[in-house]
Amino acid sequence: MKQSNDDGLNASEIEWRCQRIRKALAANDLEALLIFSPAWRRENVRYLSDAALEASAAFAYLPSSGAVTAFACSNEDELSLRKSGFVSDIRLIDFPDVVHIADCIGADLRSGRIGLAGLEFLPQRIMAQLQALLPHIEFQRASALMDSVRLVKSDLEISRLRAGGVICDKSWQAFLDACRPGAREFEIIAGVEARLRGEGAEDNFMIIASGGTEVMGMTPPSDRRLKVGDLVRTELTPQTRGYWTQICRTAVIGEPSARQKESFALFEEAVAAGIAVIKPGVTAHDVAKAENDVFRRHGYGEYCTSEYTRVRGHCLGLHLDEYPILEDESTVLEKNSVLIVHPNTYTPLAGYFVLGDPVVVTERGAERLLSTPRQLSVVPV
């Protein structure tokens, strides 16, 4: 195993993560952990392997004692796992045949309760194989357990999220550079994608919406051309060494109208209010309420409901949409949790509006991960 790499990954980081998981397993009366990661939910295998994988499935096993075993489904993933240096026991499997995984578990435990993170995505044929090969093992859902383990970040994780913040700043600039009257939505995204990949981002999640007060939400891009007076909203989420950081901004093509300015002022006040309450021990409820109270105070409280908005922010990390920030969520944000505060919603002022910053929870309060100012960016015509 490599002792360290260029951004400070070392044996103590691996040990810290395994200890956090083992503590959570013990609290749930579980003896070991099997992780299944489909292509769109890599976070838990990544947590234990630190490898960027590309096959449509990946597995990892944390035994009752000892080191992690990672299971690769392709030559490319096996190489990626070896290069990451996080796991030394790497085995190539012929997916969907999971007999080698069952052998690994069987060598560790003859019977007992095992957590299975990603069980909700595990195909029936894989589950049936595991149950047939390991009749005395009881598999329990463990995705929520892993969500809680990943909530608090290490210094290494925060440094990667910070690096993602730098790419967010550059990508937002690329977004503004691509916005002009006549540009089509998908062309803007092409420019941003090229820029952020060139900056070293592994991937990106991004949705967009252009137009006026008729816009109720963001989606993948269309071939609509930007017009003078449009608001162009985006949620831009580059992935840097596994970690997703996000920037939420809105630009206006040409000079903003009075109502567009009023909309920005409302959202800026809400973001600032959400960020202001953040400190270790605050709950998702507290942050969402601080944001929503601003809307209520200005007479826009009805636009904080699920009819107009999804969440008032969410935690960030190896999954791009970790714990939601909502008034009915009691998640406690501990020191070194990372979240984005974004009260994105529709109002009649200017249609759907997007504004938000990612922050890390510190003893001194929220620390921003971006340097891009929160402002209604004007694209000169």
Partner 1 sequence: MKRGLAILNLEETPREAFAERLNAVRDHAKASGAQVAVIYADVSRSGDINYLTNLCLYWNEALLAVPLEGKPALITKLSKRVQPWMKTTSILEDIRSTPKLAEGVGKFLDERCGSRAAKVGIVDMQWWPSPLANGLQELLPQARLLDMPGGVSTRRGVPDQYELRLLQQAASLLDQSIEKAWAQGADGDERTGIAVRSTRMAGFQDADVRYRALTDGSQCIDVVGQYRYVWVRLARAHGGAAADAANAALATMIRQIRAGRSERQIIAAANATVDQGYRCKFSCISHPYVETRGYYRPSEDADTPLQAGQVVCASVSLAGEAGVVTASDMYTVTDDGVGSIS
**Is the Cβ of residue 290 or residue 355 nearer to partner 1 in the bound state?**
355
Chosen residue from 4, 19, 111, 219 binding partner 1 by CB under 8 A: 219
d(CA 141, CA 48): 18
**Is the Cβ of residue 83 or residue 110 nearer to partner 1 in the bound state?**
83
**Is the Cβ of residue 32 or residue 189 nearer to partner 1 in the bound state?**
189
Omega before residue 280 within 30° of 0, cis: no
d(CA 362, CA 343): 21
- By CB atoms closer than 10 A (0-12, 13-18, 19+), residue 281 is exposed
Q: How far is the CB of 87 from partner 1 (least distance, A)?
A: 17
Chosen residue from 182, 200, 281, 348 binding partner 1 by CB under 8 A: 200
Chosen residue from 79, 99, 228, 276 binding partner 1 by CB under 8 A: 79
Question: x/- site string to partner 1, residues 274 to 313, per CB under 8 A?
Answer: --------------------------------xxx-x---
Tokens linked to 71: 């299971």
Chosen residue from 165, 221, 256, 358 binding partner 1 by CB under 8 A: 221
- Among 71, 70, 74, 36, CA closest to 54: 74
Binding of partner 1 by 222 (CB under 8 A): yes
**Is the Cβ of residue 135 or residue 373 nearer to partner 1 in the bound state?**
135
Question: x/- site string to partner 1, residues 23 to 42, per CB under 8 A?
Answer: ---------------xxx--
How far apart, in Å, are the Cα atoms of 181 and each of 89, 189, 252, 355, 381? 54, 15, 11, 22, 7
Binding of partner 1 by 74 (CB under 8 A): yes
Contacting partner 1 within 96-125 (CB under 8 A): 96, 119-125
- By CB atoms closer than 10 A (0-12, 13-18, 19+), residue 277 is middle
**Is the Cβ of residue 238 or residue 317 nearer to partner 1 in the bound state?**
238
CA contacts within 13 A on the Cβ side of 155: 6
d(CA 114, CA 34): 7
**Phi/psi at 83 (5° precision):** -65, -35
Chosen residue from 73, 167, 179, 341 binding partner 1 by CB under 8 A: 73
d(CA 59, CA 71): 5
Among 26-34, 62-70, 160-168, 188-196, the segment contacting partner 1 (CB under 8 A) = 188-196
Asked if 317 and 362 touch (Cβ cutoff 8 Å), the reply is: no
Chosen residue from 181, 191, 229, 254 binding partner 1 by CB under 8 A: 191
**Is the Cβ of residue 96 or residue 182 nearer to partner 1 in the bound state?**
96
Chosen residue from 138, 186, 302, 305 binding partner 1 by CB under 8 A: 186
Q: How far apart are the first and last CA of the chain?
A: 56
Q: Which residue ranges make up the site for partner 1 (CB under 8 A)?
A: 38-40, 54-57, 73-76, 78-79, 95-96, 119-128, 185-187, 189-191, 193-195, 197-198, 200, 203-207, 216-217, 219-223, 306-308, 310
